[in-house]
Structure 1
Amino acid sequence: MRFGLFGTGPWAQRTQAPALQAHPDVEFTGVWGRRPEAAKAIAERFGTRAYDDVDALLADCDAVAIALPPDVQAPLAVQAAQAGRHLLLDKPVATTVEGARAVTEAVDQAGVVSVIFFTMHFSRESADWLAEQRAQQGWLVGRANWLLSVFADSDSPYAAYAASPWRREKGALWDVGPHALSMLLPILGDATEIGAVRGPGDTVHLTLRHDSGALSTCSLSCTIPPQASERSVQLNGHAGKAVLPERSDLGMVPAFRRAVDELLAAAHTGERHPCDVHFGQRVTEILCMAEARLSA
């Protein structure tokens, strides 16, 4: 399948581009970015072509991988879907309900397939753990902590993303909140009630009631001190307690390659992927509701 890459930032350079270049079932057609010089540099590094026109790249590919800020991604995803291209998108799909719904409508109308790169769903250990817990009934309480030092530690592995304007503007709710929700919602069910309070820095605490009757909390931060960093998920219920195992430090390239595999499979079968734009839209809707609670 011919893939075009849209985006030239650290995420595109470190994850999408190397995964597309190395995938045996992908032809890495080319890259487009808002900075032509950066697109040229990526193209030279990964042996592909830099495009200066979105439509030209869409005309030459079958699918697109997008590594751009969410509110740049959303209209570009609509354009790609309307051109009949499959979508491998980043999270969140958009930061407005209208933006997310526009992507979903375009995908449904065009009949293309979509996958959202919620990273935990494509890292082998966390994906296996998630499948095990979904099969287990009787969970009563869930907790997800995504407390990172993106902006607080220049030596953090996430420091390369600290210069991202949209992350600084939107904060942890929108940056790491999608990760937490992507782990809790498939296990505990859709959120029917949402509460939110602000803490120090960009820290946010969410409370959710799920349609299963279970309750959950999410503590989110990109400004936590390095010594307080934590990424964890825990479930408690009739079967006891389940804790997400720590992820091996294998990087995101293998995870993105698995996302490509699953997009290829969905395109072959025509079946919707569990992490498609419909799920991505619901995550955006929940985050928008949380943001409204914070502003009330």
Structure 2
Amino acid sequence: MATLRIGLLGTGPWARTVHAPALAAHPGVELTGIWGRRPAAAAALAQVHGSRPYDTPDELFAACDALAVALPPSVQAPLAIRAAGAGCHLLLDKPVATAVPEARALAAAAERAGIASVVFFTARFGEQEGEWIAAQAAVGGWFTAHADWLGSVFAEDSASPYAHSPWRREKGGLWDVGPHALSVLLAVLGDVEAVTATRGPADAVLLTMRHSSGAASTATLALTAPAAAAGVEITLRGTAGATCLPRRLHGPEAAYHRAVDALLAAAGTGLPNACDLHFGLRVTEILAAAEATLPPLVRPGA
């Protein structure tokens, strides 16, 4: 394709620091416009990036070839269904939804419309991480794996811009960072055939999974880890020995640029990306199955 006209839905910290700058700077993209639930924020963000605000999502859909979404999952899913119905390709955030019926409806809408879709899993689109994931999937022979994906968004000493995110506070690390861990483990070990979950301190959750390759994996997920304990580590062990996910060398902007490249390729060739809506739906199904095995979360003061 030539230049893809992309609209942006969302004006929060992720949209301001990653989506809008990356879209405005991408040589294959025209940032056509921005819509947000706060019109003043949409106008301000559009002015910074030489674009324009739109009064309604549907007006933006009509002016675009594709939509990038930086909204909470409960808002993202219904708007993305409408965008697909308008013929727009989709660059979505994870998770695509936090309820399986919504995720299935979204995947079905994209299928009916024949549009391309990419879900932005940062590790899958990071240059070093993506190369490592592909290499380990090719090697095979993995016996087990463990992932620690621990954020300090809601730690007592947190200065995170996402500390005021209602959906993250409600759904916790299982749904916010869990998709990232699964995006790596599924790519290397295959689909999850069985999953159980156990609660730890605060919002921490431990997943135990059996994969289609026969490998077993675990993942510890949280947004409430002390800052000194926060971080990301994934270790694989198998016939080739042990290996760890490489540290990210660049911020998420570079990974998002590669996700935009992936959408351009999928839209131009008609060939699905590995991180399309079908994959996003599968991640939602696994997380929902894990959540169903958990006792209710007891919140402080409840």
Aligned to 2:207: 206
Aligned to 1:267: 267
After superposition, give the CA deviation of every residue in 1:19-44 in whole Å (9 maximum; x if it has no partner).
01001111110000001011011011
Pick the aligned partner of 1:89 from 92, 97, 101: 92
After superposition, give the CA deviation of every residue in 1:227-249 in whole Å (9 maximum; x if it has no partner).
1112111100011011111111x
Aligned to 2:300: none
Query: For the structure 1 residues 153 and 132, does the alpha-carbon distance in structure 2 shift closer, same or farther, using more than 3 Å as the test?
Result: farther
Aligned to 2:299: none
Instruction: Give RMSD over aligned pairs.
Output: 1.0
SS in 1 for 2:149: strand
- TM-score normalised by structure 1 residue count: 0.97
Aligned to 2:164: 163
Aligned to 2:67: 64
SS in 1 for 2:294: helix
1:12 counterpart = 2:20: no
Alignment of 1:42-121 (within 5 A): 42-121=45-124
SS in 2 for 1:146: strand
SS in 2 for 1:12: helix
Alignment of 1:227-246 (within 5 A): 227-246=228-247
Query: For the structure 1 residues 154 and 2, does the alpha-carbon distance in structure 2 shift closer, same or farther, using more than 3 Å as the test?
Result: farther
Aligned to 1:258: 258
1:295 counterpart = 2:298: no
After superposition, give the CA deviation of every residue in 1:260-291 in whole Å (9 maximum; x if it has no partner).
01100111110010000000000000000011
* Structure 1 unaligned blocks of 5 or more: none
The AA in structure 1 aligned to 2:227 is P
Question: Per-residue deviation at 1:57?
Answer: 0.5
1:187 counterpart = 2:188: yes
1:32 counterpart = 2:69: no
The AA in structure 2 aligned to 1:265 is A
Moved over 4 A (4+): 153-156
After superposition, give the CA deviation of every residue in 1:63-100 in whole Å (9 maximum; x if it has no partner).
00000000100011100011100000000000000010
The AA in structure 2 aligned to 1:145 is D
Pick the aligned partner of 2:155 from 152, 157, 172: 152
- The answer as to whether partners of 2:90 and 2:118 remain within 8 angstroms in 1 is yes
The AA in structure 1 aligned to 2:101 is E
Question: Per-residue deviation at 1:137?
Answer: 1.7
Question: Per-residue deviation at 1:155?
Answer: 5.3
Question: Per-residue deviation at 1:47?
Answer: 0.9
Question: Per-residue deviation at 1:153?
Answer: 5.3
Matched residues in 2 for 1:257 and 1:137: separation?
Answer: 29
Matched residues in 2 for 1:100 and 1:154: separation?
Answer: 34
Matched residues in 2 for 1:263 and 1:117: separation?
Answer: 10
Matched residues in 2 for 1:245 and 1:68: separation?
Answer: 29
- The answer as to whether partners of 2:152 and 2:158 remain within 8 angstroms in 1 is no
Matched residues in 2 for 1:137 and 1:261: separation?
Answer: 27
Aligned to 1:197: 198
Matched residues in 2 for 1:287 and 1:276: separation?
Answer: 17
Q: In the comparison of the two structures, how many residue pairs are matched?
A: 293
The AA in structure 1 aligned to 2:148 is N
Identical columns (%): 58
Aligned to 2:141: 138
Matched residues in 1 for 2:212 and 2:137: separation?
Answer: 14
The AA in structure 1 aligned to 2:289 is M
- TM-score normalised by structure 2 residue count: 0.95
- The answer as to whether partners of 2:85 and 2:113 remain within 8 angstroms in 1 is yes
